[in-house]
Amino acid sequence: MDRLLVLVRHGQSEWNLKNLFTGWKDPGLTENGVAEARKGGRLLKAAGLSFDITYTSVLSRAQVTLDLMLEEMGVPLAGEGSLPRIADAALNERDYGDLSGLNKDDARKKWGEEQVHAWRRSYDTPPPGGESLKDTGARVWPYYLTHILPDVMGGKRVLVSAHGNSLRSLAMVLDRLTPEEVVKLEIATGVPLVYRLNADTRVASKIILE
């Protein structure tokens, strides 16, 4: 049994490029983001990987990234040969609350470098009206345990297209990272993280396709 789980962060979004806090806002991909997503699909195909089911957030940048990867893999998006797709807000990006849509440099001018750094890089300090990384994990982890993990352990090959912080939350569990370690983790856009799990649900292997 393969027990394959692949995680991919969406390609670069328009707001990534503009250095804006994005969160649950829904900007599209840049040309570079489209290219990153397509490259991710080609890397998956070149690695000989195929899938039985896909998961994504409800945000378009993750869904479009998934579409582009599947196209590059030669998988139809509808009809015969297409894959089941489950979209759920549990996999959404961290909600940045009042910071959403603001330029990160402008936020530093308004609240100070130290405060903005705490909101961005601490584990459990949420921005006003938003979520900390710990809060994000509190919705991602139960969803993983009740939906994604059972599919993987049942032998389905699973592809997840989501976001930097929702995937950091998953990586925290999979890679057994401490709160101090996970805040330093960077997940590149469009780069597949290929996990294979043991029968006890622990990670047997992890490969980054670049």
Sorted by where each begins, the domain ranges of the chain are 4-93+140-208
Using 50, 70 and 90 to split pLDDT, how confident is the model at 1? confident
Query: Hey, is 198 helix, strand or coil?
Result: coil
pLDDT tens for 53-65 read: 999 999 999 999 9
* Alpha-carbon gap, residue 143 to 140, rounded angstroms: 5
pLDDT in tens, 50-107: 999 999 999 999 999 999 999 999 999 999 999 999 999 999 999 999 999 999 999 9
Using pLDDT thresholds of 50, 70 and 90, give the confidence band for residue 23. Answer: very high
Check whether 179 has a pLDDT greater than 90.
yes
Per the rule left: phi > 0, alpha: psi between -120 and 50, beta: everything else, 51 is beta
- Mean per-residue pLDDT for 12-34? 96
Instruction: Name the CATH code of domain 4-93+140-208 (choices 3.40.640.10, 3.40.50.1240, 1.10.3720.10, 3.40.1390.10).
Output: 3.40.50.1240
Instruction: Give the confidence band of 165 by pLDDT, cuts at 50, 70, 90.
Output: very high
Q: Strand, coil or helix: what is 80?
A: coil
Beta carbons within 10 angstroms of residue 41's beta carbon: 24
Question: In sequence order, which residues have a C-beta less than 8 Å from that of residue 157 and are 6 or more positions away?
Answer: 2, 4, 6, 49, 50, 51, 52, 53
Query: Could you give the residue numbers annotated as active site?
Result: 10, 93
**Mean of the pLDDT values across residues 195-203?**
97
